[in-house]
Amino acid sequence: MTFAAAPLYDSTEQGSYNREYSGSFITNIPEGISDLDEADAILISTNPDNNIRDPRFEKEVMSTEAWKNRPAVKNGNVLKVPYLMSTTYAGAIEALDALDQQLDGLDLD
């Protein structure tokens, strides 16, 4: 299974998102949302209450047809992970627990 993380940061230009992949920290991909096509699941960052961490992500990325047409999105394989970019042990444990709870429900067909 292939995962992609698509967080949004303050420095991101409108219409862009950040992506992470093995061996990298973060890259800013302007309008390159089709890069997510090979991902079986897309991870997005939330607050502990399950709301999207940066409301701009919903407005500027998730509301677009480009986002809605990604295979992982169409299959319902968007995983909301609190503290996705956690820098503390406690936050990382919370993120892993949330991820673990969602893996059973993925549509992998």
Over the stretch 71-85, which tens digit does the pLDDT of each residue have? 999 999 999 888 777
For position 22, what pLDDT does the model report?
52
**Distance (Å, whole) CA 89 – CA 69:** 35
For position 17, what pLDDT does the model report?
61
Structure tokens that stand for 84 in this block: 């996705």
For position 70, what pLDDT does the model report?
93
- Which residue ranges in the chain fall short of pLDDT 70? 7-32, 105, 107-109
For position 86, what pLDDT does the model report?
74
Neighbours of 106 (CB within 10 A): 15
Neighbours of 2 (CB within 10 A): 11
β-bridge mates for residue 30, sequence order: 16
pTM: 0.74
